[in-house]
Homo-oligomer: A and B are copies of this chain.
Amino acid sequence: MEPELDRRTALQALALAGAGMAVAAMAQTPPPAATPAAPALKPLSFDPAKLDGLSEKLIRSHWENNYGGSVRTLAAVKKQLADAMASKDTPAWLYNDIKREHLLRTGSVVFHEYYFDNLGGNGSAPAATRKALGDAFGTFDAWESEFRRIANGLGGGSGWVVLGYNAHTRALENYWMADHAHGPAATLPLLVMDMYEHSYQMDFGAAAARYIDAFFKNIQWDAVTARLEKAQRLPA
């Protein structure tokens, strides 16, 4: 596990808190009374030492550094935004630069939580879920083929693959995303796969295809099924 990024982000957060720093800090801004508590990470729902073909070291680094880094940065972003809104002099372009980080980090935090929660299973989808995907995509295999093809095309770059339920169109679809700021409109995620290189380089180097196979072996389909059932109960 590589604590460097972790430590750096924590130090930044402390500096940020300690200096009363703000995008549009007014001269009179008082320092905060106390250092805010570090925001909580959602614990892994599985034992990272027990995945099939994904190392504990990879999963822990991903969870602590990449997911954790975004949790901590998102907390700092929200503080910056609050300070910036308090000043009428913050230019809108500067405010929006931080709102872009807000969108990006919200995506990173939320999609990472879906991702880890849909790992730790045995990769075997319940019959009802297979049927739902079969109904939407022609066959279950057609769904899996498209999901894997999108993942393959993202190898060597950054992004996510998301199977989602679109609350507006009521369609089940796979979506390609190139970064955390991308996201399908009005969509509840069902199965989320991280394709940033931090998801696999440590175990597989550039061999993204091997990671894709390992991901499919470890899907926690019960989580996916529960999300699907909840999405289908969404009021019309």
Interface, chain A (partner B; CB < 8 A): 1-6, 8, 12-13, 15-16, 19-29, 57, 61-62, 65-66, 69, 73, 76-77, 80, 83-103, 106-107, 110-111, 113-114, 142, 145-146, 149-150, 152-158, 166-169, 173-189, 196-198, 201-202, 204-210, 230, 233-235
Contacts and interface: CB of A to CB of B under 8 A. Distances in A.
Task: Pick the 6 closest A-B CB pairs, nearest first.
Answer: A24-B83, A183-B183, A92-B153, A201-B201, A2-B205, A4-B207
Copies of this subunit? 4
Given A187-B186, A206-B65, A96 B4 contact: no
A93 B156 CA distance: 11
Contacts of A174: 99
B22 A103 contact: no
A19 to B, nearest CB: 5
A178 B206 CA distance: 20
A198 B196 contact: no
A176 B96 contact: yes
Contact of A5 (B1, B2, B206, B233): B206
B91 A177 contact: no
Given A2-B207, A182-B182, 20 more contacts: A1-B205, A4-B210, A5-B207, A6-B206, A8-B152, A21-B24, A22-B23, A22-B87, A23-B83, A25-B89, A61-B206, A76-B91, A95-B149, A96-B154, A99-B150, A103-B182, A157-B158, A180-B185, A197-B201, A198-B206
